[in-house]
A and B are shown apart, each in its own frame.
Chain A
Amino acid sequence: MLKMTHLQKVYRTHLIETHALRDFSIHVREGEFVAVTGPSGSGKTTFLNIAGLLEEFTGGEYQLDGVDVHGLNDDQRSRLRNEKLGFIFQGFNLIPDLNLFDNVDVPLRYRGYGAAERKKRIEDALGRVGLASRMKHYPSELSGGQQQRVAIARALAGSPRLLLADEPTGNLDSLMARGVMELLEEINRQGTTIVMVTHDPELAARAHRNVHVIDGQVTDFDSEPALRAGSRESGIGNRESVQAAPVSP
């Protein structure tokens, strides 16, 4: 589903060169629930941005659902993002001036679905997160947990192949966080692949597999045996292949 091999991401300014990701390799298989953990500044968000085609990488290979994303232009990346990916952001990123229906509608309009198809998908998605009765409400009228559910509905509405979650419970209290996590687990059980970036070890422990990132490299992983075996066979995310590397000035 998601396969990065020896990926490099270097940020360059006229003064310094920062290696955000170096020799970063990971393979996420269909149906997996992978937690990407690591301290602040380790490269988690850079990984998520590249995985979500929000940023380009400077070296290595990346295949998303069998598509080599290297060399795609901006429009092609946008379309691929829209078709294959669903995003859940830490800050929910709902559009405050749109009601729940219209918020969930945003990615569907970019997909080019007709009105009837969009309506059906929006109602289904909001139904799945338990907010079907609040379609005409605005985000400000909801709790944080409910807003994140709307964001999940928005991510699910387009039937993505891969759900990318960036600290999905980071802005929620523990009760709401538990509810959102249970929802993500339920979505995963129904077949959607999930990659979740988090610094919360408790949440990470609930994923099938943990990938630990330090200084832009995969330094540790923990997974279900079958999945780990597959990963080792492909030589990706291999503990032995990794060394902590300083960020270059």
Chain B
Amino acid sequence: MEIRPILSALMRSKVSMILIGLQVALTLAIVCNALFIIGQRMDRMNRPSGMNEADTFTFGSNGFGQGYDAQAVLRSDLALLRQLPGVADATNTNTTPLSQGGWNSPINLQPRQKSATANTAFYMVDSHALGAFGLRLVAGRNFKDEEVMPMDQGDRIQPSAVIVTKPLAETLFPDSDAVGKQVYLGEDSPPSTIVGVVERMQQPWIDSSTIEYSTLIPAFMPYGNYSRYLVRTEPGRRDEVMKAVEQKLAEANSGRIIGRMRSMEQTRADAYAGDRAMAIILGTVIVALLLVTALGIVGMASFWVAQRTRQIGTRRALGATKGDILRYFQTENFVITTIGLLVGGVLAYALSLWLMQAYQAPRLPWYYVPVGFACLWLLGQLAVLGPALRASRVPPAVATRSV
């Protein structure tokens, strides 16, 4: 490896080296941090909600006109839904995970507790919720039909039984089994007994810091004349059932409008649209930066090959093999890239520190920079390969050609 003479030759033409080195440095710093941010967003987007999203959809029923009995319609709708072909189960619910809207309330171990033990989202559902959402019960039991009480907006939430998620159960009762224990959902509410624990069910808000703390409340609770339903279909029949449901429910009761029909996959896509956009934008920036850097290296190396054709011929005449010429340009690229990467490594950590201070971003894990080193070394070597191969094909007879 002739690193020393290459380095000393490069020091005689500093501008090109500095420009490409700087480009490599900035690319490393930005790509490392952008990749880290993308990774975080992807992790966030890939968090399981706890429910079956592939085969479920939600919709709303909005009654109008005088004499509309929302409680009665709710029950008849559920009965109708559960009989439809392709429907595996259905429940009423005030909200769903990923919907970004719902109720959040303190959950306490004592009545009139001053500071909340935890904050939880409420899902007002009936005894079919576990089946409709596709939740996994890990302890206790499901709601009994008689525990599901009719509620209206403004009613105090005071169920006799609740089902909580496992993370919430472990927070409430870290040292013992939560099933059978009592909790308080409101300041003056009577106690509710935890009758079951589900493995996971996220809150509706994707930015919640307590996203895994959810509580199922057994209640038939329309919101005025508005009811919301969640249906799980047999695998692969969701879209077909969505159409049938809209038609059948409209036929069953013409005094309301069926609307806001959305699959849970759509709901997830909408919830994480911002994250996905951020990942796509950053991904585009990364690709563009890598492309520009690679093209910069190709351009510089091509220029140097053209500029040094006679020099290459002279080296060949003096005994360099094609492989020696190829290695020369690869080594030269390695030297420039390494200098850029050393600067870029410092820049990457500095940028991470700034993001931590300005945006409370987490610290860039240390291994991003060495992995970035390896990737940009590889990129540099691939980019320089074409010009280097061209250089290796310069015939030694070029050395004796007149200028």
Taking beta carbons and an 8 Å cutoff, which residues of A are in contact with B?
Answer: 45, 48-49, 52-55, 74-75, 78-79, 81-83, 87, 89-91, 93, 95-99, 102, 105-107, 109-111, 138, 154, 158, 166
Within 8 A of A (CB), among B314-361: 314-324
User: A90 vs B397: C-alpha distance in the bound complex, in angstroms?
Assistant: 13
- Quick check: is B8 within 8 A (CB to CB) of the other chain? yes
User: Which residues from B are CB-within-8-Å of A154?
Assistant: 318
User: A54 vs B310: C-alpha distance in the bound complex, in angstroms?
Assistant: 13
Shortest distance between the CB of B12 and any CB in chain A (Å): 4
Give the nearest-CB partner of A99 in chain B: B8
Shortest distance between the CB of B323 and any CB in chain A (Å): 7
Give the residue of A79, A87, A158 whose beta carbon is less than 8 angstroms from that of B317: A87
Q: In the bound complex, do residue A75 and residue B13 qualify as a contact, i.e. CB atoms below 8 Å apart? A: no
- Quick check: is B399 within 8 A (CB to CB) of the other chain? yes
- Quick check: is B395 within 8 A (CB to CB) of the other chain? yes
Shortest distance between the CB of B56 and any CB in chain A (Å): 67
Q: In the bound complex, do residue B321 and residue A55 qualify as a contact, i.e. CB atoms below 8 Å apart? A: no
User: Which residues from B are CB-within-8-Å of A105?
Assistant: 5
Give the residue of B319, B400, B402 whose beta carbon is less than 8 angstroms from that of A78: B319
- Quick check: is B159 within 8 A (CB to CB) of the other chain? no
User: Which residues from B are CB-within-8-Å of A158?
Assistant: 319
Contact with A along B386-403 (1 / 0, CB 8 A): 000000000111011011
Q: A95-B314, A98-B5, A102-B8 are in contact. Are A79 and B321 (CB under 8 A)?
A: yes
Q: In the bound complex, do residue B5 and residue A102 qualify as a contact, i.e. CB atoms below 8 Å apart? A: yes
Give the nearest-CB partner of A92 in chain B: B314
Q: In the bound complex, do residue B5 and residue A110 qualify as a contact, i.e. CB atoms below 8 Å apart? A: no
Give the nearest-CB partner of B318 in chain A: A107
Q: In the bound complex, do residue B316 and residue A78 qualify as a contact, i.e. CB atoms below 8 Å apart? A: yes
User: Which residues from B are CB-within-8-Å of A166?
Assistant: 400
User: Which residues from B are CB-within-8-Å of A110?
Assistant: 315, 318-321, 324
Interface of B, secondary structure class, is helix
User: A87 vs B12: C-alpha distance in the bound complex, in angstroms?
Assistant: 26
**Sample of 20 A–B contacts (CB below 8 Å):** A45-B400, A54-B316, A54-B395, A54-B396, A55-B397, A82-B319, A87-B318, A91-B310, A93-B310, A93-B311, A93-B317, A95-B311, A95-B315, A96-B12, A97-B8, A99-B8, A102-B8, A102-B9, A106-B318, A109-B2
Give the residue of B319, B321, B399 whose beta carbon is less than 8 angstroms from that of A107: B319
Shortest distance between the CB of B280 and any CB in chain A (Å): 44
User: Which residues from B are CB-within-8-Å of A82?
Assistant: 318-319
Most buried by B among A48, A53, A95: A95
Shortest distance between the CB of B93 and any CB in chain A (Å): 74
Contact with A along B359-403 (1 / 0, CB 8 A): 000000000000000000000000000000000000111011011
Taking beta carbons and an 8 Å cutoff, which residues of B are in contact with A?
Answer: 2, 5, 8-10, 12-13, 310-311, 314-324, 395-397, 399-400, 402-403
User: Which residues from B are CB-within-8-Å of A49?
Assistant: 397, 400
Q: In the bound complex, do residue A54 and residue B319 qualify as a contact, i.e. CB atoms below 8 Å apart? A: no
Give the nearest-CB partner of A103 in chain B: B5
User: A81 vs B399: C-alpha distance in the bound complex, in angstroms?
Assistant: 13
User: A74 vs B325: C-alpha distance in the bound complex, in angstroms?
Assistant: 13
User: Which residues from A are CB-within-8-Å of B9?
Assistant: 95, 97-98, 102
User: A154 vs B399: C-alpha distance in the bound complex, in angstroms?
Assistant: 15
User: Which residues from B are CB-within-8-Å of A78?
Assistant: 316, 319-322, 324, 396
Shortest distance between the CB of B276 and any CB in chain A (Å): 50
Excluding A45-B400, A95-B314, A166-B400, 13 further A-B contacts by CB distance (< 8 Å) are A49-B397, A49-B400, A53-B396, A54-B316, A54-B399, A78-B320, A81-B318, A81-B319, A87-B317, A102-B8, A106-B315, A110-B324, A111-B319
User: A96 vs B310: C-alpha distance in the bound complex, in angstroms?
Assistant: 12
User: Which residues from B are CB-within-8-Å of A48?
Assistant: 400
Q: A45-B400, A49-B400, A90-B402 are in contact. Are A98 and B321 (CB under 8 A)?
A: no
Give the nearest-CB partner of A93 in chain B: B314
Q: A54-B396, A81-B396 are in contact. Are A91 and B321 (CB under 8 A)?
A: no
Interface pairs A-B: 8 shortest CB-CB? A82-B319, A97-B9, A110-B319, A107-B318, A93-B314, A54-B397, A54-B396, A97-B12
Shortest distance between the CB of B131 and any CB in chain A (Å): 74
User: Which residues from B are CB-within-8-Å of A97?
Assistant: 8-10, 12-13
Shortest distance between the CB of A63 and any CB in chain B (Å): 19
User: Which residues from A are CB-within-8-Å of B396?
Assistant: 52-54, 78, 81
Shortest distance between the CB of B265 and any CB in chain A (Å): 60
Q: In the bound complex, do residue A75 and residue B321 qualify as a contact, i.e. CB atoms below 8 Å apart? A: yes
Shortest distance between the CB of A46 and any CB in chain B (Å): 9
Most buried by A among B10, B12, B322, B323: B12
User: Which residues from A are CB-within-8-Å of B317?
Assistant: 52, 54, 81, 87, 93
Q: A90-B402, A98-B8, A102-B5 are in contact. Are A79 and B397 (CB under 8 A)?
A: no
User: A82 vs B315: C-alpha distance in the bound complex, in angstroms?
Assistant: 10
Q: In the bound complex, do residue B395 and residue A55 qualify as a contact, i.e. CB atoms below 8 Å apart? A: yes
Shortest distance between the CB of B321 and any CB in chain A (Å): 4
Q: A97-B13, A166-B400 are in contact. Are A79 and B314 (CB under 8 A)?
A: no
Give the nearest-CB partner of B319 in chain A: A82
User: A87 vs B318: C-alpha distance in the bound complex, in angstroms?
Assistant: 7
Q: In the bound complex, do residue B400 and residue A54 qualify as a contact, i.e. CB atoms below 8 Å apart? A: yes
User: A161 vs B242: C-alpha distance in the bound complex, in angstroms?
Assistant: 90
Most buried by A among B9, B319, B402: B319
Shortest distance between the CB of A101 and any CB in chain B (Å): 9
User: A96 vs B321: C-alpha distance in the bound complex, in angstroms?
Assistant: 21
Give the nearest-CB partner of A170 in chain B: B402
Give the nearest-CB partner of B396 in chain A: A54
Shortest distance between the CB of A22 and any CB in chain B (Å): 19
Q: A48-B400, A54-B396 are in contact. Are A75 and B318 (CB under 8 A)?
A: no
User: A138 vs B11: C-alpha distance in the bound complex, in angstroms?
Assistant: 13
User: A222 vs B267: C-alpha distance in the bound complex, in angstroms?
Assistant: 97
User: A98 vs B11: C-alpha distance in the bound complex, in angstroms?
Assistant: 10
User: A89 vs B403: C-alpha distance in the bound complex, in angstroms?
Assistant: 12
